[in-house]
Structure 1
Amino acid sequence: MDHSTLEIFCAVAEELSITRAAQRLGRVQSNVTTRVQQLEEELGVTLFVRENKRMQLSPQGEKFLGYAKGMLALAEEARQILRPGQPEGLLRIGAMESTVASRLPEPLARYHQMWPRVQLRLSTAPSRQLVDALKDRTLDCAFAALPLSTGETPQDLAELGLTGLRVYTEQLVLVLPPDHPPVRAASELRIHSLAAFKQGCTYRSIAEDWLRSQPSDAVIDVQEVGSYHAMLACVASGSCISFIPRSVIELARETTRFRQKPIGNADTWMIWRNGYETPALNAFREALALAHD
């Protein structure tokens, strides 16, 4: 079980296709197939199954994927730490969608211009999942809103093996259709459907806490969506309310179409694992600081 075999397995697991994995890796399909079969023989398990002509990870494959990614991450981390110098290699950054859209374009562009030998890999997820990915070593750093939806505060980071730095403060805004009357409390809401991300999103947790804290007999139904554009579309249709960072609203066009009510602030933290200090990560923190100046 060598480094290249683990890379091949992870590529096939992510693409769920030998053909696409081979194209991504620049290898011939027969080589990819052979390496996967050899890995299965070495482990003594079936890693992939075919159902209705579609490739899927087996339960054993699902378990092994986390270990494989962790081993690859440790190898990359060791390589960077043992070869200090100019930033290079892979830097995996996770962030909330709002942060990617409104906060990171400038520091990412500055960083790429300064350190072109670093391969940036950016992914989005709710805050809870981002912290889990850091602990699993599938991310090198993440931008998450704290406290988490499960209650962890910045003071709890050390117990999770993490450390962080507060980088942004977001104003969270209740967004209503333009014809909705002004509201001071949840009891004045005429719409009882909330457009939000899936569980694990700190902003959703803050929104639900605000709705529960207000005197109201109404039951709020949650409509889970995958983007802020979808949230605004749901609000514009008159079917939902939503809670969105003001920085995101300011990026959207025709924001005057919506009635808005600020409900509070949420801090965004840049988080990484304790002891994880590589030239690539340190340079990114510096680029982030320059973007604040």
Structure 2
Amino acid sequence: MTATDQAASSSLTGAGVVSVCALLFTVASFWWLNARQGRLKTWEPHAFAAIIRSSTARLRLPLVLHNTGPKPIVVQDLILTFPDEPASHLPLLWVSSPSRLQPGPDEDAKLPAGFVVPGREAQQLVIEFEAPFSGLMPEARDYKVQLQARVGHRKGWRRLLTFTLRAANIIDPDRYTVYNNAPVELTKEDQKKSGCRAPRAAGRARRQLRSGRQEAAEFFERRWRRRHGPLRQHPPADRVPEASTRSRLLRVRPTCGLVLAGPLGGAVPDHRAGVAGGCLRRRRWSTRRC
């Protein structure tokens, strides 16, 4: 084979690879844009309507179903279950498709029927679920609820959404009305206000305590000066008498350490000491704490 033939065969091989890659890209793009099967997505509802009695339990949810693929999806049936509850709690079945969330006598309720969610589109629906003698009695707590669907291109039930049903908001189970299902969240301003209350209260209490101690110390110092003249030195801070001793001395809250230890261990005012802060037990000076 000559050099010219080799060059021609190599160019043909390169052109074939490029052609095959272009064909694969075209087929894959067509499948992704037109023939790909998507899935249904939905989100947690912010409100619900409920009536729960001993004979029946009815729940109405506003749902938004979104098809992520280009092919339409046929929804055949929906069901609502409580996976964390006992087996005695029957699932709630799809019984109607009302036109609004708020129940009323003049509403137009449709019987359950399959519907189509077009490709790359979202559809808003209000679905009403009901179960006779379901065994569900609401308590003031959160329930884990699972929404399942049966679609045309799959077999069996498929889980669409798992969300929290806040049954504590159901204040009147015998009345069929709308309740809020959104979690209560504080704004940044509310969190800042609530977070500053405790430090502010603690700071105010500390300031009041320091003010009371200072007033008691000034009162004790004035009393001492009237009786014995000026003080030679200030009492050390580590010789502050206990609360019961201070109460017996002045019936206030003094913090000065100018006390004496009497013969029986009781604290009495120092009428003979020339140096503040001393303690006398059996007429002997001691450096112990009062």
Provide TM-score, normalisation by structure 1.
Answer: 0.17
- In terms of Rg, which structure is larger? 2
With a CA cutoff of 8 Å and minimum separation of 6, indicate the structure with the bigger relative contact order.
Answer: 1
- Tell me the TM-score normalised to structure 2 length: 0.18
